Chain A
Amino acid sequence: MIYKCDGIVIDNEPLIKDFIYLMKIKETKIAEYAKPGQFLEIKTGTLPLLRKPISIFAVDKVEGTISILYQVKGQGTKNLSQFKIGQSIDLMGPLGNGFAVEKFNKKCLLIGGGIGVAPLYDLGLRLKEVGNEVEFILGFSSKETSYAIEYFKELGPVKIATIDGSVGVKGTVGAILEDYDLTDISKAYGCGPEPMLKYLKTIEDEVDLELSLEAYMGCGLGACLSCVCKMNDGDYKRVCKEGPVFKAKEVSFDE
């Protein structure tokens, strides 16, 4: 079930000012049904006209809240950063299919790059709830632009890579993965920029891997057919409806 409703902003704090924000919203119905990997479509103001698709970072089903971790990129996310506590916010959700969560024999590995780390917190939490051990590999561009790491550390071991090497391993998440023993891993999940997802496809034969994709969306409901991504069979699928999570082996990043 998809709901359109007005939530109430109960927190909207910068983790890094003008860049990364964590917003907590009271919205009982969406919180009740949200699954890890799903997203919201948020009307951020009069303009932009279209809603902005934002991943769900955390859900508290008991208190009926949803949190989003977002990066200020354009006018929509800039508007979001200016929401005040107590303000109502026009939401649609939960949308998309979400990650597969079940009890696996071995550990789960969650790999995030940049703002793509956002859906991995709720995923990690739910994977733990059903009895899995989780580990994270998170990539950022630098120490100054890394964030939310302490949240992931609550759930399991976290390895960090930064492009400039200012914290953790120097390089992308690939720099950590190339020496990583995947035989210990039952299931891996990835979310991040397209070059990272392309890289992750190189390990798709070694481990069962799901990827969460990003695409420019129109409606978020599967009606406009804008946010499609290419599948290996040459057909397209809707990131908002059949996705945003796909089996790595299904998707193709080839031109």
Chain B
Amino acid sequence: MSKLECQLGKLLLKNPVTVASGTFGSGKEFKDFYDLSLLGGIMVKGTTPEKRVGNKPQRLVETSGGVINSIGLANGGIDDFIFNILPEAKTYGTEIIVNISGGCIEEYGIMAHKLDLEGVGAVEVNISCPNVKEGGITFGTDPEMAYDVTKIVKANTSKPVIMKLSPNVTNIAIMAKAVESGGADIISMINTLIGMSIDVEKRKPIINNVIGGYSGPPIKPVALRMVYEVYKAVNIPIIGMGGIMNTTDALEFLMAGASAISVGTGNFVDPYIPINIIKGLEEYVEKNGLLSYKEIIGAVHR
């Protein structure tokens, strides 16, 4: 057994390194760089019940060492995903984790049901998109609604259910407990922090949608602290993410309590970051004489 083999409840990954939804397309966009089967899993770009054209540009800006985006869940809709994207994605030899967003609780159930298909490794439920008017983040800030969304998704799929938490809450442990009691198998965290940037010449927000989700290296300390808090609050595994750029960052998340990690914005900077982290973790495990990387999960809590 590989020392990086990663068991997240009933979801088995060949290693704990995945790529975050919205930063990796469906995988196709990165195929030229490396064999995608090296990855633990791919969280594909978020899908919705119907096609969405997305927000009016400007949709993205770099600021203070990180990136604000407001794409608005642009995608072809879930049927397009199932018929036009999934058939290719499932040949990549890695777990395909499908990220879903609904405008109401029922839509989450319908989508989960449609995705109960061969080739789907797990469903990641986005209850934390800051960039759409309806649904999205409201489900991620109210514990009762987060519980209800989790319940309905669980009732409609046999796949492992990953609930993706928003950091834009006062107490993230309460949200984590809510989705755990709703039956979530795994938590992924964090989604982006809501941010803003202003063009001082034009005296206008740079992002057309005014606000957007902030990601990249500057959010890492916040994400890490939240993983640390959630690890103490729940008994389900965590996929940690937020500004991970290298092996040290990944190790920090594992030690804070994540069982796996995702590279997000880092994919824009250097597509090889996930691969470098896999190698780096292998080296760390060897150097420290570990039987499995799992020995370091939550290390700072002991």
Contact = CB atoms under 8 A, between A and B. Distances in A.
Given A216-B61, A228-B54, A49 B29 contact: no
Contacts of B24: 223
Interface residues of B, number: 32
B92 to A, nearest CB: 15
Given A49-B67, A236-B54, A43 B32 contact: no
B196 interface: no
A222 B267 CA distance: 12
The range of chain A's interface size is 20 to 34
B236 interface: no
Contacts, number: 88
B274 to A, nearest CB: 13
A218 B57 contact: no
Q: For A92, A228, A241, which residue has the most chain B Cβ atoms within 10 angstroms? A: A228
Closest 5 CB pairs of A and B: A226-B60, A223-B25, A219-B268, A223-B29, A2-B32
B269 A50 contact: yes
Interface of A: 1-4, 43, 47-51, 92, 215-229, 234-236, 241
Interface of B: 22-25, 29-30, 32-33, 45, 53-54, 57-62, 65-67, 69, 71, 74, 216-217, 265, 267-272
Nearest to B33: A4
A116 to B, nearest CB: 18
Contacts of A224: 22-23, 60, 69, 71, 268
A223 B65 contact: no
A213 B23 CA distance: 23
A219 B65 contact: no
Contacts of B217: 49
A228 B71 CA distance: 10
A92 B272 CA distance: 12
A228 B59 CA distance: 8
A228 B74 contact: yes
A2 B54 CA distance: 27
A1 B54 contact: no
B47 to A, nearest CB: 13
